[in-house]
Amino acid sequence: MYVGFVGLGVMGRPMALNLARAGTRLVVFNRTPARCEPLRAAGAEVAASAGEVFDRAETVILMLADESAVDAVLGRGGPDFAVRVAGHTVVHMGTTSPEYSAALQDDIRAAGGCYVEAPVSGSRVPAEEGQLVAMLAGDDDAVEAVRPLLAPMCRETFGCGSVPGALLMKFSVNLFLITLVTGLTEAFHFADRQGLDPRLLRDVLDAGPMASAVSRMKASKLLDRDFSVQAAAADVLKNNRLIAETARKAGLASPLLDVCHALFGEAVAQGHGGEDMAAVLRALEARSDGTAASARPTPAASDVSAGFQVH
């Protein structure tokens, strides 16, 4: 049996490559055909359309940028939807709102399909190394059937109950990640403007109890001002917005996240959305230099009265 994979972006392509290299019979599709060529070279078959992937594979993994992309691939809202998902297991590995995921599960079940929510923790390098951490939610039978399929991509998998439990767990993890990297970046900015040797700061941090794989990776990028993308600032901003909206709906305070939201919004507005999340340094530098442009809130996250300071 074939496994389908749709969405070969920064994360999706290395994930699919790990599946193909592990011997998974894979059929792939991406809106930009050129991104499929490394998969073809690795032994995967390339479909001419998303519909062809569903024609040939009973389990289809989606690693797509947003909700509209998922709906388009599934043909949701049109006659193609039931044809595509009936008798199939759809594995949603991207990041969307919890409400969207729950509604998608309902629609797929009603059409005769199965649904597994499977977002991952990790950026481009862990994706390349097959070291992602997956969070799984859905019906027990479907989750257990999907779990071994993820092994070439993921170092560990964790069951998170029913949908949208996996996305809510990912939001919790990403809240820590976003605030952690922003704090690390601010520390390097502070040391630099105080005339300290940033490499010495790196060494001191690395020797102490706060060192982690994330701090080591991002400290190296900050030292070298290397903003080549591992996790894009625009994607971090999207995640930040989704987490903030979820917190707001639950009446939860998220003051650290709100500050990060503003900073990443400023970095993206300055044109750094395609750079790594360490490029939030640009927003800090602009604020210190007095050159930060006034920011405008996005309509989806502009409820300042609810305690969310947005970009």
pLDDT for the residue 307: 32
Distances in Å between the Cα of 276 and the Cα atoms of 66, 231, 296 are 19, 5, 22
* Coil vs helix vs strand at 310: coil
Phi, psi at 11, each rounded to 5°: -95, -45
Q: For CA atoms 206, 215, 227, 260, give the dihedral sign.
A: negative
Q: Of 190, 147, 163, which Cα lies nearest the Cα of 287?
A: 190
Rounded Cα distance between 16 and 180, Å, is 29
Asked if 84 and 55 touch (Cβ cutoff 8 Å), the reply is no
User: 173: Cβ–Cβ under 8 A, 6 or more apart, which residues?
Assistant: 121, 135
| Total length of the chain | 311
Q: d(Cα 20, Cα 136) in Å, to the nearest integer? A: 22
CB 189 within 8 A of CB 198: no
Q: In 10 A of CB 271, how many CB atoms? A: 10
**Half-sphere CA count of 36, side-chain side, radius 13 A:** 20
Tell me which residue has tokens 């605030």. Answer: 179
Burial of 1 (0-12, 13-18, 19+ CB in 10 A): exposed
Distance separating alpha carbons of residues 242 and 250, to the nearest angstrom: 13
**Do 139 and 166 contact (CB within 8 A), yes or no?**
no
The Cα 251–Cα 91 span in angstroms is: 30
Q: What is the dihedral of CA 182, 187, 188, 189, to 10 degrees?
A: 80
Prediction pTM value:
0.91
Q: Which residues contact 138 (CB under 8 A, 6 or more apart)?
A: 105, 114, 115, 116, 117, 162, 163
Q: What is the pLDDT of residue 81?
A: 97
Residue 26 has what DSSP assignment?
Answer: E
The pLDDT profile of the chain, 311 residues, written as one tens digit per residue, is: 899 999 999 999 999 999 999 999 999 999 999 999 999 999 999 999 999 999 999 999 999 999 999 999 999 999 999 999 999 999 999 999 999 999 999 999 999 999 999 999 999 999 999 999 999 999 999 999 999 999 999 999 999 999 999 999 999 999 999 999 999 999 999 999 999 999 999 999 999 999 999 999 999 999 999 999 999 999 999 999 999 999 999 999 999 999 999 999 999 999 999 999 999 999 999 999 999 865 444 433 333 223 322 22
Q: How confident is the model at residue 128, as a pLDDT?
A: 97
Contacts of residues 81-85 at CB distance under 8 Å and 24 or more positions apart, as own/partner, are 81/107, 81/111, 82/111, 82/112, 83/54, 84/50, 84/51, 84/54, 85/54, 85/111, 85/112, 85/113
Helix residue spans in the chain (DSSP H) = 12-21, 37-41, 50-56, 67-74, 80-85, 98-110, 124-129, 140-146, 165-193, 198-207, 213-224, 233-249, 255-267, 280-289
Q: How confident is the model at residue 293, as a pLDDT? A: 66
